[in-house]
């Protein structure tokens, strides 16, 4: 008995979130004086560490955060989804849900930290920041920090450059020679990085050393005097492992899990990296199944790097354009994002970037009707901010590294005796330069991008019944006029979902024991109540493909006979049920 009471006491102590003393916190500071769960946001974390942070958050906030394993990667790492909501105000699947993921490309690691930040920020501020409390009470977050855990683990563990380990780790025959992963880059100088090789080839190269900075090489333009450069670039560090005359042409993996998704999917020859069929890799298929099984998902963010972009589909030109009502939602959120994320641009994938067939966020929108963004985190314009103009060009990376990182990001060119090329020089920027911010800028990147996802979540639909009016039509007939309003930007059903019959139509019902519903329908005219789109059958249960527009309303009229208590109700997949009583005297 005593142990039981003790355990209960401990549980209740754990369950109550301690609010920081208001006078110790600075207004606008996210977590008050000191967070309950300390996470250093100026660094990157490996696969185990990311999950360990989230597990600490689960341990500290078990009432709000829980974890489930939804699948396994090729190398058998867990694919985890952390669910964040306040179950006391409703089960997770009765609320609109925001899905946030990152790191589908193994080298695009900082999305993992951003996902953890979303959880940390909301949990730490629950109870002390009213909008956070409202959001955690009224919505659900499904958080999946690493869509490519094997790629991430390799990026940390193995020698890479900023762009490598994009793929997963399943063997893949890139060069069609019947061998798998037999010739990747090699860390010849053993410095833990895959950098570049150059060779001094006097008079017959195409590059020359930059006169101001010999770490850089400039192309030599064609000229009539026949002057050539003295240097030749040989490519990434490595040698011809399989003796086929090519270097580094078949590294581990070699596919792209963000080309695997089943909307607009095209095979490899049209879309490189797509694999033999959609959702071929287990990492992708388990996530697609989770999305399909959770139709309450009303927003998706998938963090990538780099370039400073807020991307939406279509991914390919042949799709056409998204319906204008949904484009308006995207435009509003996208422009907002440009303000929240300096140097990021809101862009359309195929038009402003390049063609992508089978991307994850275009699948989420086109097949599942969910407003979805991909942010590309970190833009090198952020190195010098407003001074980017005078500090741009190829020397900018060096200047930034020299002035602000004490040169730590660059491996100086050093001689090496290559088995094929003879004497070469190996050097270049390390893997955490260029696509990932330097440590002192990680927290800002993380916070701004997390808050963009949180902003997105705050725009998920929320339905309220703002008025119910009973009027007497004579002869025992009454009319009940109900106004259902969605106060948020995102409609209860996107135009895409309405057009394609995705998911369940919204349901508007009236029921009361003593009430007989004779007719009912959606009003098309605020001032002329007889102008009704009235239902052919089941008038007490009206269905709508279009739902309630963003920041809009739907007016319903029911014509009834009877008296007593009744309830009007709105039900839909992507917002909490709204209901109100109606009294018929």
Partner 1 sequence: MHHSRAAAARALALAALCVPLLAQDAAQPDAQASPASAVQPVSSAPHAELLTRAKALGAGATWIPYGRSRQGRELFALRIAGAAGKADELPAILVVANVDGTQPWTSALALQHAEQLVARAAEPTVSALLDTTCIYVVPCANPDAHERRFAAVQHEREATGTGVDNDRDGRSGEDPASDVNGDGRITQLRVRDPRGEWIADPLDERALVKADKTKGERGVWRVWTEGRDLDRDERVAEDEPLDACVNRNFPAEWKELAPESGAFPTDEPETLALCEFVLQRPQIALVVTYGAFDNLVDKPKSVAADALQKRVPQAGVVEADAVLLAEYGKRYAELTGVKHKGRGGDAGSWQTWAYAHRGLWSLAINPWDIPLDTPEKAAEAKTEPKTETKSEEGAAAPAKPEKDKKDKREPSEDVKRLRWIDANSEETWRFVPWSAFEHPELGPCEIGGFAPFARNEPPAARSAELAAAQFEFLLTLGADLPRVRIEEFTAKPLGGDLHELRARVVNPSRLPLQNASALRTEAVRPARLDLELGAGASLVAGERLHLIRALDGSGGRFEARWLVRAASLAELRLKLSTQHAGSDARVAELAR
Give me the residues that bind partner 1 (CB under 8 A), please. 173, 176-178, 243-245, 262-270, 276-279, 288, 292, 316-318, 355, 357, 366-367, 500-502, 504-505, 507, 537, 541, 543, 545
Determine the Cα angle at 10 with ends 8 and 14, to 5°. Answer: 115
Contact 413, 425 (CB under 8 A): yes
Query: What is the nearest approach in angstroms of partner 1 to the Cβ of residue 466?
Result: 24
Joined together, the tokens standing for residue 555 give 């007016």
Question: In the complex with partner 1, which residue's Cβ is closer, 383 or 497?
Answer: 497
* Spatial distance between the Cα atoms of 100 and 454, rounded to a whole number of angstroms: 10
Question: In the complex with partner 1, which residue's Cβ is closer, 340 or 507?
Answer: 507
Query: What is the nearest approach in angstroms of partner 1 to the Cβ of residue 276?
Result: 6
Determine the Cα angle at 28 with ends 23 and 32, to 5°. Answer: 50
Query: What is the nearest approach in angstroms of partner 1 to the Cβ of residue 177?
Result: 6
Query: What is the nearest approach in angstroms of partner 1 to the Cβ of residue 272?
Result: 10
Torsion of CA 485, 488, 494, 498, to 10 degrees: 0
Question: In the complex with partner 1, which residue's Cβ is closer, 42 or 541?
Answer: 541
Question: In the complex with partner 1, which residue's Cβ is closer, 54 or 497?
Answer: 497
Query: What is the nearest approach in angstroms of partner 1 to the Cβ of residue 172?
Result: 12
Q: What is the DSSP annotation of 570-582?
A: EEETTEEEEEEEE
Joined together, the tokens standing for residue 206 give 């195409």
Query: What is the nearest approach in angstroms of partner 1 to the Cβ of residue 404?
Result: 42
Question: In the complex with partner 1, which residue's Cβ is closer, 270 or 408?
Answer: 270
| C-beta neighbour count of 19 within 10 angstroms | 12
Query: What is the nearest approach in angstroms of partner 1 to the Cβ of residue 175?
Result: 8
Report the half-sphere exposure of 259 (CA within 13 A, side-chain side).
Answer: 22
* Spatial distance between the Cα atoms of 127 and 140, rounded to a whole number of angstroms: 16
Residue with tokens 């990667």: 73
Looking at the DSSP assignment, which residues form a beta bridge with residue 544?
506
Query: What is the nearest approach in angstroms of partner 1 to the Cβ of residue 242?
Result: 8
> Residue 377 contacts by C-beta under 8 Å, 6 or more apart in sequence?
108, 110, 111, 114, 303, 304, 305, 306, 308, 437, 445, 449
Tell me whether residue 314 is exposed, middle or buried, using C-beta atoms within 10 angstroms of its C-beta: 0 to 12, 13 to 18, 19 or more. buried
Question: In the complex with partner 1, which residue's Cβ is closer, 134 or 545?
Answer: 545
> Residue 259 contacts by C-beta under 8 Å, 6 or more apart in sequence?
265, 271, 272, 273, 274, 275, 356, 357, 358, 359
Question: In the complex with partner 1, which residue's Cβ is closer, 110 or 263?
Answer: 263
Query: What is the nearest approach in angstroms of partner 1 to the Cβ of residue 284?
Result: 10
Query: What is the nearest approach in angstroms of partner 1 to the Cβ of residue 269?
Result: 5
Contact 200, 208 (CB under 8 A): no
- Would you give the end-to-end CA distance of the chain in angstroms? 55
Query: What is the nearest approach in angstroms of partner 1 to the Cβ of residue 463?
Result: 17
Percent helix / strand / coil, the chain, rounded to 5: 30, 30, 45
Give the torsion sign (CA, 432, 436, 442, 446): negative
Query: What is the nearest approach in angstroms of partner 1 to the Cβ of residue 497?
Result: 10
Residue 473 — φ and ψ, nearest 5°? -100, 0
Contact 236, 251 (CB under 8 A): no
* Spatial distance between the Cα atoms of 373 and 40, rounded to a whole number of angstroms: 27
Question: In the complex with partner 1, which residue's Cβ is closer, 72 or 246?
Answer: 246
Query: What is the nearest approach in angstroms of partner 1 to the Cβ of residue 431?
Result: 30
Query: What is the nearest approach in angstroms of partner 1 to the Cβ of residue 568?
Result: 17
Looking at the DSSP assignment, which residues form a beta bridge with residue 519?
559
* Spatial distance between the Cα atoms of 518 and 510, rounded to a whole number of angstroms: 11
Query: What is the nearest approach in angstroms of partner 1 to the Cβ of residue 535?
Result: 11
Residue 402 — φ and ψ, nearest 5°? -65, -45
| C-beta neighbour count of 353 within 10 angstroms | 16
Question: Burial code of 266-302, b = ≥16 C-beta within 10 A, e = fewer?
Answer: beeeebebbbeebbebbbbbbbbebbeebbbbbbbbb
Contact 238, 246 (CB under 8 A): no
Question: In the complex with partner 1, which residue's Cβ is closer, 318 or 420?
Answer: 318
């Amino acid at each position: 008995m005593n142990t039981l009471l003790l355990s209960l006491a401990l549980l209740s102590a754990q369950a109550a979130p301690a609010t920081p003393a208001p006078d110790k916190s600075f207004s606008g500071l996210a977590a008050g004086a000191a967070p309950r769960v300390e996470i250093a946001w100026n660094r990157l974390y490996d696969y185990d560490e990311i999950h360990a942070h989230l597990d600490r958050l689960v341990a500290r906030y078990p009432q709000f955060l829980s974890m489930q394993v939804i699948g396994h990667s090729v190398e058998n790492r867990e694919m985890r989804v952390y669910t964040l909501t306040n179950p006391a105000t409703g089960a997770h699947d009765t609320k609109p849900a925001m899905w946030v993921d990152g790191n589908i490309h193994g080298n695009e690691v900082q999305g993992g930290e951003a996902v953890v930040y979303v959880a940390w920020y909301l949990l730490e501020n629950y109870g002390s920041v009213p909008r956070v409390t409202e959001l955690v009470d009224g919505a659900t977050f499904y958080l999946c920090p690493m869509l490519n855990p094997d790629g991430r683990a390799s990026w940390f563990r193995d020698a890479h450059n900023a762009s490598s380990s994009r793929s997963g780790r399943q063997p893949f025959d890139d060069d069609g020679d019947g061998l798998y992963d037999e010739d990747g880059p090699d860390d010849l100088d053993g410095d833990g990085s895959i950098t570049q090789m150059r060779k001094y080839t006097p008079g017959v190269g195409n590059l020359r050393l930059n006169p101001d900075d010999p770490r850089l090489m400039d192309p030599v333009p064609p000229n009539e005097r026949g002057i050539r450069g003295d240097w030749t670039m040989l490519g990434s560090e490595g040698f011809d492992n399989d003796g086929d005359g090519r270097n580094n042409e078949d590294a581990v993996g070699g596919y792209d899990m963000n080309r695997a998704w089943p909307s607009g999917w095209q095979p490899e020859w049209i879309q490189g990296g797509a694999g033999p069929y959609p959702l071929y890799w287990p990492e992708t298929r388990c996530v697609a199944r989770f999305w399909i099984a959770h139709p309450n998902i009303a927003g998706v963010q998938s963090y990538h790097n780099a370039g400073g972009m807020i991307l939406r589909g279509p991914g390919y030109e042949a799709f056409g354009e998204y319906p204008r009502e949904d484009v308006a939602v995207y435009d509003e959120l996208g422009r907002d994002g440009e303000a929240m994320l300096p140097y990021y641009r809101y862009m359309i994938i195929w038009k402003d970037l390049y063609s992508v067939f089978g991307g994850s966020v275009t699948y989420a929108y086109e097949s599942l009707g969910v407003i979805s963004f991909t942010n590309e985190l970190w833009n090198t314009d952020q190195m010098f901010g407003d001074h980017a103009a005078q500090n741009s060009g190829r020397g900018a990376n060096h200047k930034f590294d020299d002035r602000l990182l004490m040169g730590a990001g660059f491996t100086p060119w050093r001689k090496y005796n290559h088995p094929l090329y003879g004497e070469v020089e190996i050097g270049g920027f390390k893997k955490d330069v260029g696509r990932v911010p330097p440590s002192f800028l990680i927290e800002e990147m993380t916070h701004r991008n997390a808050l963009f996802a949180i902003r997105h979540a705050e725009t998920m639909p929320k339905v309220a019944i703002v008025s119910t009016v009973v009027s007497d039509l004579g002869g025992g007939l009454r009319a009940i006029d109900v106004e259902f309003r969605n106060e948020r930007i995102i409609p209860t059903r996107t135009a895409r979902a309405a057009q394609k019959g995705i998911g369940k139509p919204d349901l508007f019902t009236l029921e009361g024991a003593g009430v007989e519903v004779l007719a009912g329908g959606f009003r098309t005219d605020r001032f002329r109540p007889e102008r009704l789109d009235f239902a052919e059958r089941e008038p007490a249960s009206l269905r709508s493909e279009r739902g309630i527009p963003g920041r809009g309303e739907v007016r319903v009229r029911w014509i009834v006979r009877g008296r007593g208590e009744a309830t009007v109700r709105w039900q839909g997949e992507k917002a909490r049920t709204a209901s109100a009583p109606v009294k018929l005297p």
